[in-house]
Amino acid sequence: MSALLSAERLVAGYQGHPVVRELDIEVHAGEVVALLGSNGAGKTTTLLTLAGDLPAIGGSVFVSGRPSRSPLHRRAREGLALVTEERSVLMNLTLAENLRLGRCDVDRAVELFPELTPLLARRCGLLSGGEQQIVTLARALGRRPRLLLADELSLGLAPLVVKRLLAAVRRAAVEDGIGALIVEQHVSQVLKVADRAYVMRRGSIVLQGTADEVGRRVRDIEDSYIPGTAPKAGAGDGASDPAR
């Protein structure tokens, strides 16, 4: 079965200047994939290019096995949901109005996040940062997308909120069959819900494997965050070496 989303030899960046080079990645239906790496590794650039928000400089992006150069708004109509690190709630509208405006299944959103029920009539500007991020993700998952791309869901949030957000993504993958690609700095948290993971360094994949395989190499991931070091992929634990 072809991947919901994949890239082959992807080159991505800004104004013709590559930040990401020769990147291969794929996400299948029903799986959660983590994209890890230090600040500046190219994770967000990769995510935005896969979403169609940035045009690819080179290589190919495939959606459901077909090459695509569609912009974000068209991919969104075809079932892609993008959650950026900026919480996209309308502060003067109530939580319920934010959900309805997002054309999502409100019942499904509340089913995933029942803690939103007593807050439905509250203006989003009065919610905490964690609650606003829950609304943002609930609205995205409530649309029942085929594919979710999420950038730093945990930014500035308490660990308990991060756990709730990631658990909802895992549940949507299992129950709704969505594929999810999550950029995340909280390595241990995201690996608890992920099926597979990629680690980026300076625009390239330097480590990939199942969540368990990558989890056993947390030291390598941390080393990849430090300039001048690089993990030695494939050293007897099943993680694959992308041979960059």
pLDDT band for position 108 (cuts 50, 70, 90): very high
In tens, the pLDDT along 132-150 reads 999 999 999 999 999 999 9
Is the confidence at residue 65, as pLDDT, over 90?
A: no
Per-residue pLDDT at 69 exceeds 90: no
Q: What residues form DSSP beta bridges with 60?
A: 8
> Is residue 28 classed exposed, middle or buried when 0-12, 13-18 and 19+ CB atoms within 10 A define those classes?
middle
Say how far apart CA 117 and CA 109 lie, in whole Å: 10
Cα-based distances in Å from 27 to 63, 134, 226: 10, 23, 27
Question: Which among 144, 135, 27, 153 has a CA at the least distance from the CA of 80?
Answer: 144
Residue 136: predicted pLDDT: 95
- Rounded CA-CA distance 153/142 in Å is 16
pLDDT at 226 over 80: no
d(CA 241, CA 244): 8
The model's pTM: 0.87
29-39 pLDDT tens trace: 999 999 999 88
CA distance 101 to 99: 5
| 146 phi and psi angles, rounded to 5 deg | -80, -30
Percent of the chain, pLDDT > 70? 89
- The listed CATH number (3.40.50.300, 1.20.58.190, 1.10.3720.10, 3.30.420.40) that belongs to domain 5-86+147-153+160-224: 3.40.50.300
Q: What does the radius of gyration of the chain's CA atoms come to, in whole angstroms?
A: 18
Break the chain into its structural domains and give their ranges. 5-86+147-153+160-224
Least confident of 12-21, 124-133, 176-185, 215-224: 215-224
Q: Which residues lie below 8 Å from residue 219, measured CB to CB, with a gap of 6+? A: none
